[in-house]
Structure 1
Amino acid sequence: MKKTATFFAVLLVSGSAYAVVPTPTLPAPPPMPAPQISGVKAAVLLDVNTDQVLLDQNGKTSYDPSGLVKLMTAYLLYQAEGQKMLQPNEHITVSVDAWHAPGSRMFIQPGLPVTVDQLTHGLLIDGGNDAAIAIAQSVAGSVGGFVDLMNREAAAMGLHQTHFVNPDGMPTPGQRSTALGMARLARALLVKFPQVAQIAGLASYQYNHITQYNYNPLAGQNGITGLGVGLASGNNWDLAVSASKDGRALVAVIFGASSRAVAGTDASAMLHYGFHGWQQQQVYPAGAVVAQVKRIDWSPETLSVITPTAITVAIPRPSQGKVEGRFVADPKLQVPLKAGAQVGTLDLLWQGKVLKTEPVVAKNAVAKAGWFSRLWHRAQGAL
């Protein structure tokens, strides 16, 4: 038996004509496992381009967002600039309240010149609470009025578990949000005001001959574009980090890490997972027909459902199987309908899991059919 086995092996090696053993087909490697972020209260990884949550550990539980509150302060500042209420080179009058703001500071003071652009750097790089107070007073006239704007904007963004009490993030009873809420806010800031990335990722800046360093432990690294750090209490650090690579952008949010360094290490692992474990894929171009709804009491009888914009999703690497679309009609769908009206949603599924949901619209207008049209539709259906 031993000789036979040896002879068989020689035949396989010595001549290709005898190589009858097929090359085995190996299974595709499994997707990269998500990192387990331990020792923190919550962690969320969000894909900015597709608005997909790639990792969620306790991301919907409310905590004190501490300094991450400044993301909304920055959002409202950029919004005010866009509305020409303030200009980047405009000089701001510093109040005594801003001068004496506790916590992290950029060291502004009454009578010392400071511009909106300098306040923006102080807010986003070293998390200056004095900058936050000065910005709030400049935009809304008072801190209280600015906080009202913050909560109004949070409601408009759908951040229902978020409530702001101040613009600087100093621990205050009633100030709450979630890691997912802060990730959504960070995405809105990056998408609507991309110029924030030109400042928030800087390692340092100088104001009044004082060099201030970014509290973000990942700032200055290749691809890192911001965003904020906060200290909720003792050893209880919050961190929001944005990064871009190969046309993709991600946001990692950590609540309750034991130190800034630990928060940075965890966020770095999350970003690595997002960039290397997931890939972006366009599944539908704008105007793609994804469903047709047919009713004999409609005129025309068939409604074509299309994507209003191109739909892109993030899927795990390596790609195994295709992304499927599942149309879900609005249960209150009624005619008449105008072309372009939303008629439902499209679930994008990968291996049975819903990756994201997008609105879809009517391609053609539809009206209620008259009695003759309904009769004709029934006759056509009977053929």
Structure 2
Amino acid sequence: MMFRNSVRSGLILVAILFAFVSSAAALETPAREAILVDHDTGAVLLAKKPDTKMPPASMTKIMTAYLVFEHLKDGRLSLDDTFVVSEKAWRKGGSKMFVEVGKEVRVEDLLRGVIVQSGNDASIVLAEGIAGTEEAFGEMMTETAHELGMSNSTFQNATGWPHEDHRTTARDLATLSKHIISDFPEHYHFFSELEFTWNDIRQYNRNPLLRRNMGVDGLKTGHTQNAGYGLTASAERDGRRLILVVNGLNSAKQRASESARLLEWGFREFQNYALYEAGDTVEEAPVWLGEADRVPLKIREDLKITLPRTARESMTVTVTYDSPVPAPIREGQEIATLRVEAPDMETVEVPLEAGMAVDQLGPLGRIVSSLEYLVFGAP
């Protein structure tokens, strides 16, 4: 690691040099839409039409599960609560949990029916139990999605049943998956269950990567004629988690092989690097007319970035601020900016704050300090 200091137009620049080699930014995939994201840093490792609106098919059920988890977390619902199976839910075609009309079914069992068995019937039972009607539940799904930042998503039903206005994007599904994992760690285990038996019918989780011993622990497949074959998946390896969304593939076999290939590529080619921890002093800035000569510039939160594994020599980390910083200075006052730049990488900007308060000198002290500055320059 090499440091370089320079002063230009009242700015002090501190550059830290690394390498950045864009190893495979142009990796191709047969998926119609795709995105691969690092869960911790938010770095996008691969993107193909990530903001194109698409039919999500049964990947919709991740949103259905999110709303159920939300109700469980705030106490409006418990896993032991029961909902009655309506005739609409019982009659719904496609993949089924095989619940019986008029029967009461526990929420926990319905969740397994949605997540493991991809049951359209179970999804509708939950939707009607929470919102009264599936249509009202669709409105709740859309509202919640927008609150989560899924601005390109509109949901019309709880199942992913084809509808011309039922659309989301690969990026939005990745955002939703990140929230599922982060917001509801106590319920995320449902997505890794390999099988579930209901009504004496044993069904296996449709996620083809759960049995491949590659760290995959979620989330959901999808398939309709219009959507093609899709998968939203997440995998954790050596403390690092990736989220993958693919859609529009030609077969279940291609979905499995391509999803595995992209996840393996992401783990192999990229790594996370911790640059600073919360509270670290990144630099000390000179102070103008203050009771202290210098003030520490501290970072408020951990700074971790994702780079290709080959990259540790051509990235710059730059701290900029007006120098010297005039007193008085409040502790916690944002007085500098940390910029992380590298080829083929979106610039990261993080504010730096004063690590302590610095009062202004009294009248005599200001005069003496000003004279010293004129004679000797900045401290």
Normalised TM-score (structure 2)? 0.79
Structure 2 residue aligned with 1:4: none
Structure 1 residue aligned with 2:163: 172
1:95 matches 2:86: yes
Counterpart code for 1:126 = Q
1:268 matches 2:253: no
CA 1:170/1:318 → structure 2, altered by over 3 Å: closer, same or farther?
same
C-alpha distance after superposition, 1:30-54 (max 9, x if no partner): 7753684433211111111222111
Counterpart code for 2:310 = P
CA shift for structure 1 position 232: 3.7
C-alpha distance after superposition, 1:124-161 (max 9, x if no partner): 11211112112222223332332222222222222211
* Distance in 2 of aligned mates of 1:298 and 1:171: 67
Secondary structure at the aligned position of 2:83 is classed as: coil
Instruction: Say whether the 8 Å CA contact 1:105–1:126 is kept in structure 2.
Output: yes
Instruction: Say whether the 8 Å CA contact 1:151–1:164 is kept in structure 2.
Output: yes
Structure 1 residue aligned with 2:198: 207
> Alignment partner for residue 109 of structure 1, among 81, 100, 104?
100
Structure 1 residue aligned with 2:280: 288
Structure 2 residue aligned with 1:44: 35
Structure 2 residue aligned with 1:140: 131
Higher relative contact order (CA 8 A, sep 6+): 2
Q: What is the RMSD of the two structures over their aligned residues, measured on CA atoms? A: 3.5
Counterpart code for 1:186 = S
Instruction: Say whether the 8 Å CA contact 1:43–1:255 is kept in structure 2.
Output: yes
Counterpart code for 2:242 = L
Q: How does 1:245-260 map to 2 (within 5 A)?
A: 245-260=237-252
* Distance in 2 of aligned mates of 1:293 and 1:257: 54
* Distance in 2 of aligned mates of 1:343 and 1:227: 42
1:239 matches 2:231: yes
1:316 matches 2:308: yes
C-alpha distance after superposition, 1:251-301 (max 9, x if no partner): 111011111221121110111011111122211011124467889799999
1:187 matches 2:190: no
CA shift for structure 1 position 359: 4.8
Q: How does 1:121-136 map to 2 (within 5 A)?
A: 121-136=112-127
Instruction: Name the stretch that deviates more: 93-102 or 364-373.
Output: 364-373
CA 1:262/1:309 → structure 2, altered by over 3 Å: closer, same or farther?
same
Instruction: Name the stretch that deviates more: 63-72 or 34-43.
Output: 34-43
User: Structure 2: which 5+ residue stretches go unaligned?
Assistant: 1-18, 322-327
C-alpha distance after superposition, 1:142-187 (max 9, x if no partner): 3233222222222222221122222211111122221111111111
* Distance in 2 of aligned mates of 1:99 and 1:381: 83
Secondary structure at the aligned position of 2:82 is classed as: coil
Secondary structure at the aligned position of 1:253 is classed as: strand
Structure 2 residue aligned with 1:332: none
Structure 1 residue aligned with 2:53: 62
Secondary structure at the aligned position of 2:93 is classed as: coil
Instruction: Say whether the 8 Å CA contact 2:229–2:251 is kept in structure 1.
Output: yes
Instruction: Say whether the 8 Å CA contact 2:79–2:108 is kept in structure 1.
Output: yes
Secondary structure at the aligned position of 1:166 is classed as: coil
Secondary structure at the aligned position of 1:194 is classed as: coil
User: Structure 1: which 5+ residue stretches go unaligned?
Assistant: 1-27, 330-335
* Distance in 2 of aligned mates of 1:57 and 1:242: 18
CA 1:203/1:186 → structure 2, altered by over 3 Å: closer, same or farther?
same
| Sequence identity percentage | 26
C-alpha distance after superposition, 1:292-312 (max 9, x if no partner): 788979999988653322222
* Distance in 2 of aligned mates of 1:230 and 1:183: 14
* Distance in 1 of aligned mates of 2:64 and 2:186: 15
Instruction: Say whether the 8 Å CA contact 2:298–2:355 is kept in structure 1.
Output: no
CA 1:29/1:193 → structure 2, altered by over 3 Å: closer, same or farther?
closer
CA 1:92/1:364 → structure 2, altered by over 3 Å: closer, same or farther?
same
1:198 matches 2:189: yes
* Distance in 2 of aligned mates of 1:49 and 1:326: 22
Counterpart code for 1:316 = P
CA 1:302/1:30 → structure 2, altered by over 3 Å: closer, same or farther?
closer
C-alpha distance after superposition, 1:3-55 (max 9, x if no partner): xxxxxxxxxxxxxxxxxxxxxxxxx9977536844332111111112221111
CA shift for structure 1 position 365: 8.2
Structure 1 residue aligned with 2:269: 277
CA 1:35/1:378 → structure 2, altered by over 3 Å: closer, same or farther?
same
Aligned residues: 350
CA 1:369/1:246 → structure 2, altered by over 3 Å: closer, same or farther?
same
Larger Rg: 1
Secondary structure at the aligned position of 2:102 is classed as: coil
* Distance in 1 of aligned mates of 2:287 and 2:176: 41
Counterpart code for 1:191 = S
* Distance in 2 of aligned mates of 1:124 and 1:256: 21
Structure 1 residue aligned with 2:147: 156
Counterpart code for 1:177 = T
> Alignment partner for residue 53 of structure 1, among 40, 44, 50?
44
* Distance in 1 of aligned mates of 2:337 and 2:91: 51
Instruction: Say whether the 8 Å CA contact 2:22–2:344 is kept in structure 1.
Output: no
